[in-house]
Structures are given as structure tokens and as C-alpha cells.
């Protein structure tokens, strides 16, 4: 598969030039990983990357949160089934937008039929406006705009979604879709002109500024850990055609089935139109040939048709029209078989090290996951799996030789690294994943460039860095320093110092007696548990913040949001200021914990456990 300049740069960086500034993989690369290797981490990253867009589209049409959740999950399961049929994978946002809109529209119709839409809207509406009439006008306009955007040609729709709904710059959009920046500017101008003309014909003429506002998506809460895990797990079954085995609600399965059936019908209509055109062309050519041959002498009856020499005027397409679809089908099947049968090799390297009760493990991989369990008795047991895949077995073997695994012990420090010896060729892929068992007191320093990191148990200090992947930590009682560039962070059963940073993804923490600092650019932050004395901070640019503490908690609170409101179950502060998006309060007689909650686009909730 052809690689973009950005992907090539990412490859060079991951090879060792500068790991700290590695750009993210493109949507096309992630889809390729999911299709060829059934790489769940690739699909999970796609989900985190586009979940806010999909959820925002669904929320524009639906009111009940469960309806939004079902439509969102059905959209990603449809992606799992149709990933191989997407033509412009680098512009995945536009494809997801159209699928999400159609599924949400189906859910909306079902809700109206149930007669519960108005009731659910009153109970669970997430949009707040002081003027119900103004809110209705805005929602009606956005509904019309969504419908017209879904009807735009793909080359226009993809850029509208990227630039207006996802907030990409023209330069970023140009890089993603693989065209010059000037082309992006021109297409956006044409898209706006088309939209305004169509809206005017429907009696909804708007100014350019109003159109831009209508195109922007509402703030959407990020996906929960349960939603992500269930969707990724089901995607594996759906991608393999095992829909019956996927553990998803019956309603989600029906929505996905309906979306796939609609796509199939649309495809059949397109194929039917092509076949009809070919038949018409064939009929016209046959008539022309018949008229030409009528002027000539008829060939002898004994002369086989296949042996008759070609004459001037014969149409070379006559007699081959019916054979073309079968030939194309064979070529397509051959390509599919070749893709599915690309040689894939694995090699496992294992080693065990005798250590004390609190060793240090330094682990660094590339293009692979890390799974660590802290239950070993005085030893570090490592299992590293090298993987390669290419067009031929020889190329796959070459890729396997390009992976060097080193395992070294110096006193109580065990260092394990997997690195690429040379710059890889783009017709193959290689990487390494690890499964490690360590003593409960081990201090961990874990790094991987593209992969999920999982840790269970332990009481030692933990540092995790991953470029593209989620981080899952369970029942770790030591201090945590977790960083991911693209992915979420999920922590349960922790205690002590917790410092978390995500660039694109949510943060969900359950911890007791913790000192918490959590920061993400795009995603929600949730904390449930108890806090020790000290300064705590939960900050996000785009997402909600939910802080759940014991009813007896005592703390000083500073809550700020630019676009949203603050809701608190604890008494203190001004209700009027909370409605304006800020709240300063002192909870309890002797608070020793300072809590700062900041978000730019989202609400803040402080709840009693």
C-alpha cells in the first residue's frame, strides 16, 4: 500500500531519529493494520480518534443518551465490516459522518414511532438554551444542514467534516486527504456555495457565519471504558463475519445489519446502472455490426464463429460484454486472496532472570503491545514475540531478521529492548510485543511506539509512555506516571500518586487515598475515590469532568469551564456563578486538599459517592 510522506516520516522517527516527536499513523495505515493483522489496538485507536465526531453527529439528531450510544456503536461496527470496501481511507471522517447520520436518522424514526421522543428529550436533553423556541430553530437548521452535508460528493463532504466539524486547519486537511492546500480551499468554497444554495431552495437561507456555526458539532462526552472494550471486542467478530458471536445489544446488532443492508442495496443499484449502460452500449454496437455485415457476403455455415477472421468494422467489445464482469470478479478475488494470504511470521524469545523482591524493569518496544502482571516470586519472566508480514515469505523473513531483541540484567535491573536494525521497506511490516511477569514490588519503565499497555497488580513505581494506544492499569498501589499520545487511560484500584496525561483520549480513574493530576486535550476526565492532602488538578480542553468523592470529603474547590456549567452535590459557593461556568467553594471545616477542575468545552460535576 502506498504510504504518505507523513507516514514515511513517522517510520523514520519510530526507527530511532526522534521518538518524542513521532507523528501519528494515518487512518489508512490503521485500517490496513486492522484488515491484514486484525490488530485490535489499531481499531481501538480509530475509535478514540473519531468517536467524538460520530457521537456529535448522533447527538444532533437524538436526545436519549442510550439512543446516541447505540447509534455510535453501530457506526463503528459497520466500519469493522466495511473497512475493506472504503475507497478513500485517508478521508475516513467523511465516510463515518455519512454512516453515523444515516444510522442516527433510523434511530430517530424508530423513536418517533415509539412515541417516546418528546419524553426522552425532556428527561435527558444535553443541550441547554434559555429560549426553547430559539433552541428549536437552531436544531431544525442543524438537521437540514446535516442532511445536505450527507448528500455532498465525497471529495467535498470529507473536507467539510475535517475542517468544520473536527477543527482541522486547511494544511492539516490537505495532508490527510493527500492534495494541495489550494485544492482544499477551492473545494471548501464550492462546498459552502452548494450548501447555501440548497438551504436557500429549502427556505433556510443563512449567512456564512451562521452556516459555520450550524456545521460545528456540539460538545460530546467521550466514550466510557465499557463502551470501548465492548465495541472493539465485537468489531473482531463482525470483521470475521461472526456477527452472532458478538456480545452487543440486539438493537445495536439490528442497526448494524440495517446499515450494511442499505450499503449493499446502494451498491447493487450502482452495479445495475453500470450493467444497464453496458447492455445499451452492447446493443448499439451489435446493431452497427449487423448493418455492416449485411452488406457483405455471409460466411459459410460450416465456418465456426470462433475461426472467422476479424473484419474491418467489427466492434471488439461485442461478445465480451457478458464476460467482463466475470473477469473483473476473478481479478478482484485474486487480489483479495493475495491480501489475505500475505505471509505472516512470528518468533518467540523467552528468558527468566533471578532478582530480588523489588527489581527495576526497563522495557522498550515498537509496533506492539505490552502486558505486565506483578505476581512473580523473585524473578522477571519475559516473553517477547517478534512479528513480520510482507508480500512474500522471503520478504517476511527479511523483516524478521530486521528485529533485534536484547535482554540484559545488571544487578537488580532488567533491560529488555526490541528495535529495528534498518529502515523498513514499505511493502512489509514488523514489530514486537511483550508479556512480562515481575515481582509485586518491581519498579516499571514501559515504552512502546504503537500499542496498548496493560498492567495488573504491583506496588512499585510505574512509568508508561505509548504513542498510539490505550493504557490500562488495575490494582497497582505504587505511584503512577502514565502518558499516551493517542488513546485513553483507565485506572482501577490504585492508590498513592497518580499523574496522567493523554493527548487524544479520555481519562477514567478509580483510586483511594490518591494525589491526582490528570490532563488531556480531547476527552473527558472521571475520578472516583478519595483524595489525600495536597494539590489535585483535572484539566481538559474538550470534554466533561466528573469528580466523585465520599460524602465526608473536605476540600477547597476551584472549578472553571468556558462553555458549560458546574454542578455540585456539596454545599458551598454561589449557584449563580456555577450556572455561569465557575465555582469556588470550601467544603468542610478543615479542608487540606486543593482541587482544581478546568475545561474549555464541557460541563463539570462534583458528586457524592
Are residue 513 and residue 428 in the same domain, yes or no? Answer: no
Residue with the larger pLDDT of the pair 152 and 539: 539
Rg (CA), the chain: 29
Q: Which residues are 115's β-sheet partners?
A: none
Least confident of 208-212, 444-448, 541-545: 208-212
* 446 domain residue, yes or no: yes
The answer, as to whether pTM is greater than 0.85, is no
Instruction: Look up the domain containing 362 and give its range.
Output: 343-487
Query: Do 166 and 187 belong to one domain?
Result: yes
Please check whether residues 453 and 556 belong to one and the same domain. Answer: no
Say if residue 381 is in the same domain as residue 450: yes
pLDDT tens for each residue of 253-264:
888 888 888 877
Residue 77: inside a domain: no
More confident residue, 423 or 126: 423
Domain-ending residue, one of 171, 202, 217? 217
Counting every residue, how long is the chain? 609
Q: So what's the pLDDT on residue 593?
A: 94
Q: Tell me if 600 is assigned to some domain.
A: yes
* Total of domains in the chain: 4
Q: Indicate if 523 and 579 belong to the same structural domain.
A: yes
Q: Which helix (H) or strand (E) holds 7?
A: helix 5-12
One domain for residues 162 and 294 = no
Among residues 529, 515, 522, 516, the alpha carbon closest in space to that of 484 is found at: 522
Which residue is it, cell 447520520? 101
CATH number at 134 reads 1.10.10.10
Check whether residue 352 and residue 457 sit in a common domain.
Answer: yes
Query: Can you tell me the mean pLDDT for 4-19?
Result: 38
Alpha helices in 241-362 (DSSP H): 250-294, 323-340
Final residue before a domain boundary, out of 487, 515, 533? 487
In a domain, 137, yes or no: yes
Residue 19 lies inside a defined structural domain of this protein? no
Residue range 8-17: average pLDDT? 38
pLDDT-based confidence at residue 321 (cuts at 50, 70, 90): very low
Q: For residue 33, what pLDDT band results from cuts at 50, 70 and 90?
A: confident
Same domain, 510 and 472: no
Residue burial 555-579, b: 16+ Cβ < 10 Å; e: rest: bbbebbbeebbbebebeebeeeebe
Between 212 and 487, residue with greater pLDDT: 487
- Least confident range from 18-22, 523-527, 574-578: namely 18-22
Is the domain of 509 the same as that of 394?
Answer: no
Q: Based on the domain organization, do 170 and 190 belong to the same domain? A: yes
Judgement on whether residues 372 and 327 belong to the same structural domain of the protein:
no
Q: Is residue 374 part of a domain?
A: yes
Residue by residue, what is the 3-state secondary structure of 448-486? Answer: EEECCEEEECCCCCEEEEEEECCEEEECCCCCEEEEEEE
What are the Cα distances from residue 512, in Å, to 492, 530, 532, 540, 595?
10, 5, 8, 22, 15
Q: What is the pLDDT of residue 434?
A: 95
Do the domain assignments include residue 330?
yes
Which of 228-232, 273-277, 295-299, 473-477 shows the highest mean pLDDT?
473-477
Same domain for 145 and 277, yes or no, is no
> Quick one: which of 364, 349, 378 has its CA closest to 438?
378
Examine the fold and report which residue of 487, 513, 537 is the final residue of a domain before the chain moves on. 487
Amino acid at each position: 500500500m502506498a504510504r504518505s510522506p507523513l507516514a514515511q516520516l513517522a517510520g523514520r522517527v519510530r526507527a530511532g531519529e526522534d521518538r518524542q516527536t513521532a507523528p501519528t499513523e494515518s487512518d489508512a495505515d490503521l485500517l490496513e493494520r486492522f484488515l491484514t493483522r486484525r490488530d485490535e489496538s489499531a481499531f481501538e485507536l480509530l475509535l478514540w480518534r473519531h468517536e467524538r465526531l460520530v457521537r456529535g453527529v448522533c447527538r444532533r439528531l437524538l436526545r436519549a443518551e442510550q439512543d446516541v450510544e447505540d447509534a455510535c456503536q453501530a457506526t463503528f461496527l459497520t466500519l469493522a465490516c466495511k473497512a475493506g470496501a472504503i475507497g478513500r481511507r485517508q478521508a475516513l471522517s467523511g465516510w463515518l459522518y455519512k454512516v453515523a447520520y444515516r444510522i442516527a436518522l433510523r434511530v430517530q424514526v424508530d423513536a418517533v414511532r415509539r412515541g417516546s421522543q418528546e419524553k426522552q428529550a425532556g428527561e435527558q436533553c444535553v443541550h441547554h438554551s434559555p429560549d426553547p423556541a430559539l433552541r428549536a430553530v437552531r436544531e431544525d437548521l442543524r438537521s437540514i444542514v446535516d442532511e445536505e452535508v450527507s448528500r455532498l460528493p465525497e471529495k467535498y463532504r470529507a473536507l467539510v467534516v475535517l475542517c468544520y466539524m473536527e477543527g482541522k486547519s486547511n494544511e492539516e486537511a490537505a495532508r490527510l486527504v493527500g492534495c494541495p492546500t489550494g485544492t482544499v480551499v477551492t473545494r471548501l468554497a464550492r462546498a459552502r456555495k452548494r450548501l447555501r444554495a440548497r438551504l436557500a431552495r429549502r427556505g433556510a437561507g443563512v449567512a456564512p457565519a451562521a452556516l459555520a456555526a450550524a456545521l460545528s458539532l456540539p460538545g460530546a462526552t467521550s466514550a466510557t471504558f465499557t463502551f470501548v472494550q465492548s465495541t472493539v471486542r465485537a468489531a473482531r467478530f463482525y470483521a470475521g463475519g461472526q456477527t452472532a458471536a458478538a456480545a452487543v445489544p440486539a438493537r445495536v446488532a439490528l442497526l448494524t445489519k440495517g446499515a450494511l443492508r442499505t450499503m449493499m442495496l446502494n451498491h447493487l443499484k450502482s452495479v445495475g446502472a453500470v450493467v444497464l449502460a453496458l447492455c445499451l452500449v452492447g446493443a448499439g454496437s451489435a446493431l452497427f455490426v449487423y448493418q455492416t455485415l449485411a452488406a457483405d457476403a455471409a460466411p459459410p455455415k460450416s465456418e465456426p464463429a470462433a475461426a472467422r477472421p476479424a473484419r474491418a468494422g467489427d466492434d471488439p467489445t461485442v461478445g465480451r460484454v457478458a464476460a467482463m464482469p466475470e473477469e473483473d470478479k476473478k481479478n478482484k478475488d485474486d487480489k483479495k486472496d493475495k491480501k489475505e494470504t500475505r505471509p505472516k511470521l512470528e518468533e518467540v524469545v523467552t528468558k527468566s532472570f533471578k532478582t530480588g523482591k523489588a527489581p527495576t524493569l526497563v522495557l522498550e518496544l515498537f509496533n506492539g503491545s505490552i502486558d505486565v502482571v506483578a505476581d512473580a516470586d523473585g524473578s522477571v519472566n519475559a516473553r517477547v514475540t517478534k512479528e513480520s508480514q510482507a508480500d512474500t515469505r522471503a520478504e517476511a523473513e527479511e523483516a524478521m531478521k530486521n528485529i533485534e531483541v536484547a535482554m540484559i540484567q545488571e544487578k537488580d535491573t532488567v533491560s529488555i529492548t526490541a528495535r529495528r536494525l534498518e529502515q523498513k521497506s514499505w511493502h512489509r511490516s514488523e514489530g514486537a510485543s511483550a508479556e512480562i511477569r515481575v515481582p509485586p514490588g518491581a519498579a516499571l519503565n514501559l515504552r512502546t511506539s504503537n500499542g496498548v499497555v496493560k498492567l495488573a497488580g504491583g506496588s512499585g513505581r510505574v512509568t508508561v509512555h505509548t504513542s498510539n494506544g490505550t493504557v490500562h492499569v488495575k490494582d497497582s498501589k505504587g505511584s503512577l506516571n502514565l502518558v499516551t499520545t493517542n488513546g485513553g487511560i483507565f485506572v482501577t484500584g490504585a492508590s498513592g500518586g497518580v499523574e496522567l496525561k493523554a493527548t487524544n483520549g479520555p481519562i477514567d480513574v478509580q483510586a483511594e487515598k490518591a494525589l491526582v493530576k490528570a490532563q488531556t486535550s480531547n476527552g473527558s476526565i472521571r475520578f472516583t475515590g478519595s483524595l489525600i492532602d495536597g494539590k489535585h488538578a483535572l484539566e481538559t480542553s474538550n470534554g466533561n469532568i466528573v469528580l466523585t468523592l465520599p460524602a465526608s470529603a473536605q476540600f477547597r474547590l476551584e472549578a472553571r469551564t468556558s462553555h458549560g456549567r458546574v454542578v455540585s452535590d456539596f454545599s458551598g459557593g454561589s449557584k449563580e456563578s456555577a450556572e455561569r461556568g465557575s465555582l469556588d467553594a470550601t467544603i468542610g471545616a478543615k479542608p487540606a486538599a486543593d482541587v482544581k477542575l478546568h475545561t474549555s468545552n464541557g460541563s463539570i460535576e462534583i458528586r457524592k459517592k
